[in-house]
Amino acid sequence: MVSVAAKGDDDGIAAWSAFLRAHAGLVPVIDAELRRTTGLPLTWYDVLLELNAAPGRQLRMQDLGERAVISRTRVSRVVDELVTAGYVCREPNPDDRRSSFATLTDHGRRVFRRAAPRYLDAVRRHFAARIPPEQLRVVRAALDAVLDPPADG
């Protein structure tokens, strides 16, 4: 026997391929819909969401980079844009003057709350509604597991 491509490998690569294709197909669609219906790009929405959920509606840039789906370097640029738009302001951190907070403004909060139902609806229609409920829970568990550092790979 020259090569034994185990069945599990096929399932793994097929799932990976579906994962890449689903992302490439879905994210641009949902981003475009969000821009059209709310004026917010997905990246902005994501940052506003994390700030809105944070205590005092503010986060250090570092922490924002860890929570939002956005690279650490990118955070500075996006927060610049959000400050210009009036949705966020920067505030000094009295405990450590190296760092600063990004804080959601009242205006930013209103814009976020108005956008949230549109976002949830888009995700539901394009993603969640196409997957049986019991599979949704499996997908979540599986993709969460991928990011943990469970021992070794």
- Size of interface with a copy of itself, in residues (CB under 8 A): 48
CA distance 65 to 72: 5
Three-state DSSP class for residue 103? strand
To DNA, the closest distance from the beta carbon of 134 in angstroms equals: 32
Q: Which of 12, 39, 86, 92 binds a copy of itself (CB under 8 A)?
A: 12
Q: How far is CA 69 from the centre of its chain?
A: 4
End-to-end CA distance of the chain: 27
Part of the chain binding a copy of itself (CB under 8 A), chosen from 25-33, 54-62, 78-86, 100-108: 25-33
**91 near a copy of itself, rule: CB under 8 A:** no
Query: Would you put residue 57 in left (φ > 0), alpha (ψ -120 to 50) or beta?
Result: left
Tell me which residues touch a copy of itself (CB under 8 A).
8-9, 11-16, 18-27, 69-70, 120, 123-133, 135-148, 150, 153
